[in-house]
Amino acid sequence: MRKLGNALVLFAVTASWGLQARAQGPLATAQGPASDGRVEVAGGGKADAADTTDKMAWWRDARFGLFIHWGVYSVPGGEYDGHAIGHAGEWIMNRGKIPVAQYQQFAKAFNPVKYNPDAWVRMARDAGMKYIVITAKHHDGFAMFKTGASKWNIVDATPYGRDVLKPLAAACRKYGIKLGFYYSQAQDWNNPGGAAARKVTSEGWANPDSATIDAYTAAHQGHWDPAQTTRSFADYIDQVAVPQVRELLTNYGKVAVLWWDTPVGMNDTLAKKLSDALALQPGIITNDRLERPDFPGDYKTPEQRIPKLNELDGKDWETCMTMNGTWGYKPSDTKWKTPETLIRNLIDIASKGGNYLLNVGPTPEGEIPPASVELLKAMGAWMKVNGEAIYGTKASPLGPLSWGRCTKKTDGTNTRLYLSVFDWPADGKLLVPGLTKTVSSARLLAGGQQVFTEAAADGLQIHLPAKAPDTIASVVCVEVEGVL
């Protein structure tokens, strides 16, 4: 992943080993209206607000999805010529400046005979995830599907010889999971003409002028092998990127998300060619990485971090994050986050009106690392009991909460608040500051036990059992009269 940008950064990329930003507060999650009462949509065009709301409804309800970074880069697994290549996983070809011909040899060892898409989708479903986004083509240009635009694909270049996206699409339909494709539209280090970033900094900039974009593009051509430059970037877009996007949007049934990445060298003319292909999938949603600023997509994509409240502007957003430190498979990276961190990250993100796209990096044999599987099982166990506090919720209407987070749902004239308590009160008294509405009911999601509430001078006091139902996060559902 590791994205590109300059000093004008919308969301700076930082490591996120623990729960970020404990501040809490109100956040409107609807897409902001343009001056004419319509809203910006993927491709820079406009559509009626009602249309965009309908298109995004499932995504806003879902809150939790699975990212899958899988490709030929899983074969070297962060090492090349006997040496570890920095932080490289999926970026190893660029970081190690591996010649095209040498990198393509890795495809001969990419043989995912243990790939079980049915099991992958069931794993995601059981973890509480509602959608999957898989790398159909990452920056190394390797297509994980049969394509007529390049022989550098899993069917033609590997001993496996089969398209892995078709059975994944079938499994998603079987289990009711939405399917999305990640596609690196600009960077492509194998197919001639594709862009190549010289170095990795941070992803995304806010409203740069054309001179900034031109200067950045000129400074980041970054090719290291003459084989990468035997055609122009414009020809690459016409001959590889556009045809492959059309294949992805034609051959796999319903596609819910197209996840663009690193718009190195992109301009409005080239971006429009890719955006126009989206008409093949009415209702598809896209992120904000096709080309900036004129193709904002439907939602923002902070990476490896959870934004603080003062960074949010009311637009839809999704944090993408790894479970360890790398996106692609890297067996030496064993710095796994804990179940507590991942579960509390999910709660924190939902409390701010965002989505959590959590990554796994499968092996060359087609297996998801056991540590990832166990972490997802732990998240699934929590979601089975407490998913009501995540799915279909809106951002917290309350001020900062020192003991946890809050999400809400509105039901007619009433509001349900889901209070995820991280720090269970030793005296059994939980104060919800500023909450003065009349309480209709209050209960624990775990087991359904009713709890007593009473008005306090500075809010609502809830009397809880001595022991927390869950040491990571226990949820109290409080229904109050009126809309917050």
Q: 35-39, 122-126, 454-458: lowest mean pLDDT where?
A: 35-39
Q: Which domains does the chain have, with CATH numbers?
A: 39-389 (3.20.20.80), 404-481 (2.60.40.1180)
d(CA 37, CA 234): 35
d(CA 453, CA 440): 10
Instruction: For 140-150, write each residue's pLDDT tens digit.
Output: 999 999 999 99
Q: What is the pLDDT of residue 27?
A: 27
Q: 307-311, 354-358, 472-476: lowest mean pLDDT where?
A: 307-311
Q: What is the pLDDT of residue 218?
A: 53
Q: For 54-76, what is the mean pLDDT? A: 97
Q: Are 19 and 390 in contact (CB under 8 A)?
A: no
In whole angstroms, how large is the CA radius of gyration of the chain? 23
Full-model pTM: 0.86
Q: What is the pLDDT of residue 8?
A: 29
**SS3 label, residue 161:** coil
Strand ranges in 184-326 using DSSP code E only, listed in sequence order: 257-260, 285-286, 318-321
Q: What is the pLDDT of residue 389?
A: 98
Q: What burial letters (b/e) apply to 75-92, b meaning 16+ CB within 10 Å?
A: bbbbbbeeeebeebbbbb
Q: What is the pLDDT of residue 399?
A: 87
Q: For 381-393, what is the mean pLDDT? A: 98
Q: Which of 379, 386, 404 is nearest to 448 (CA)?
A: 386
Residue 349 confidence class, pLDDT cut points 50, 70, 90: very high
Which H or E run contains 480?
Answer: strand 474-481
Measured in whole angstroms, how far is the alpha carbon of residue 206 from the centre of its chain? 20
Q: Are 472 and 451 in contact (CB under 8 A)?
A: no
Phi, psi of 65 (to 5 degrees): -140, 170
Instruction: For 414-451, write each residue's pLDDT tens digit.
Output: 999 999 999 999 999 999 999 999 999 999 999 999 99
The DSSP string of 400-434 is: --TTEEEEEEEETTEEEEEEEESS--TTSEEEEET
The verdict on whether omega for the bond into residue 293 sits within 30 degrees of 0, i.e. cis, is yes
Q: Give the up-direction half-sphere exposure of residue 224: CA atoms within 13 A in the CB hemisphere.
A: 16
Q: For 346-360, what is the mean pLDDT? A: 98
- Percentage of the chain surpassing pLDDT 70? 84
d(CA 127, CA 131): 11
d(CA 256, CA 133): 9
User: Where do we find the tokens 């040899």?
Assistant: 105
Q: For 406-413, what is the mean pLDDT? A: 94
Residue 219 confidence class, pLDDT cut points 50, 70, 90: low
